Copies of this chain bind each other. A is one copy, B any other.
Amino acid sequence: MISIRHLRYFAALAQHRHFGRAADACAISQPALSLQIKDLEEVLGAQLVERDRRQIRLTGLGEAFAGRAQHILRAVDELADLARASSPSLGGRLRIGMIPTVAPYLLPAVIRRLAERFPAVDLRPREAVTGKLTEDLISGSLDVAVMALPVSEPSLQDHPLFDEEFVLVRAPADRHKPPPSAESLGAMRLLLLEEGHCFRDQALAFCDMAPGLSQDPMEGSSLATLVRMVGAGMGVTLIPEMAVASETSAVEVSIARLAEPRPRRSIGLVWRKTNPLSEHFVQIGEIVRQEHDLLRHHRGAARIPDAQLRGGPGISDDLAGHA
């Protein structure tokens, strides 16, 4: 009879394509894995693995089997989640992901709040770009993630939390220039995050620049780096409003709202539609939203005058970043 153990071991083998490493991943010895795979092949009466090469290969059946096995393993994991969901307070392991343009500003506070709210939960936060997060959600190696919406994966469920605007970071000397428009941004030396960050794509889309085309913008791997590059006079950049307080407090730059239409993005929570923990995820979303609100109303570390940050488009759209 086929067992879940068979499926777990075979899925690991299909992933690693190596008995030793797959065995490690399963936390068993290599002979134990070999025997289980052999046993599975006997139960099925068919070969799954070609063992003659140095690097093993799966047969056609093996590939098909691996795909279905993965699917079943996810469903079985969700059975356990179902039991967790039936408890009024969440417990057990919770793997939560966040994109890099949100995580530095929200993750610490969110983790703190979650630990308070769900003391029994074993939190496993993770920071990664959207592509990696969606991949992990789908494969079942992540439970829930905070990212920019929309997500196009049909197997994923999204839950919008808040919208936020992008603001321009430029040299302090530019402080009194008028708010730039999308087109005028194209003419500036725009510093962007490296490939893979959704924020990069959103910024490019706003500037109406085909990705990678036009002037081939200079890249940084974090918003903190970009802001420092601006401070060094290397150009301008866009950052999400949420990042203003912490990223500009130690750097000599000025912050300006852009002219209408302003760039903005929607941040939301995402999970597998079949995940039974959705009720709890909605509660988690509420916590994330609250922490974002706190940040916007500068109860955080850095102080930016409210009148400026929230100023209407008619008056000074220029915000002071200061050391």
A2–B80 CB distance below 8 A: yes
A176 within 8 Å of B by Cβ?
A: no
Contact A82 B60 (CB under 8 A): no
A152 at the interface (CB under 8 A from B): no
Q: Looking at the assembled complex, report how far the CB atom of A311 sits from the nearest CB atom of chain B, in whole angstroms.
A: 51
Q: How many of chain A's residues touch chain B, expressed as a range?
A: 20 to 34
Name the CB-closest residue of B to A73: B72
- Copies per complex? 2
User: Which residue of B65, B79, B84 contacts A2 across the interface (Cβ within 8 Å)?
Assistant: B79
B46 with A2: CB separation less than 8 A: no
Q: Are B3 and A80 in contact (CB under 8 A)?
A: no
Considering the complex, which residues of chain A in the window 77-117 have a beta carbon less than 8 Å from any beta carbon of chain B?
A: 78-80, 82-84, 86-87, 91
CB pair A78–B83 under 8 Å, yes or no, is no
State the Cβ distance, A277 to closest chain B Cβ, in Å.
Answer: 13
A5:B2 contact, CB within 8 angstroms: no
A16 beta carbon closer than 8 Å to chain B: no
A61 near B75 with CB under 8 A, answer no
Q: Considering the chains assembled together, what is the distance between the CA atoms of A228 and B76 in angstroms?
A: 55
Given contacts A3-B3, A87-B46, contact A72 B61 (CB under 8 A): no
Say how far A251's CB is from chain B's closest CB, in angstroms: 49
Task: Give, as a whole number of angstroms, the nearest-CB distance from A288 to chain B.
Answer: 27
Q: Does A64 contact B (CB under 8 A)?
A: yes
Q: Please state if A86 and B69 are interface contacts (CB–CB under 8 Å).
A: no
Asked if A80 and B4 make an inter-chain contact with CB atoms under 8 angstroms apart, the answer reads no
Given contacts A45-B87, A64-B82, A68-B79, 15 further A-B contacts (CB under 8 A): A2-B79, A3-B3, A3-B4, A43-B80, A44-B83, A45-B91, A46-B83, A61-B82, A61-B83, A65-B79, A65-B82, A68-B75, A68-B78, A72-B79, A75-B75
Residues of A within 8 A of B (CB): 1-5, 7, 43-46, 59-61, 64-65, 68-69, 71-72, 75-76, 78-80, 82-84, 86-87, 91, 276
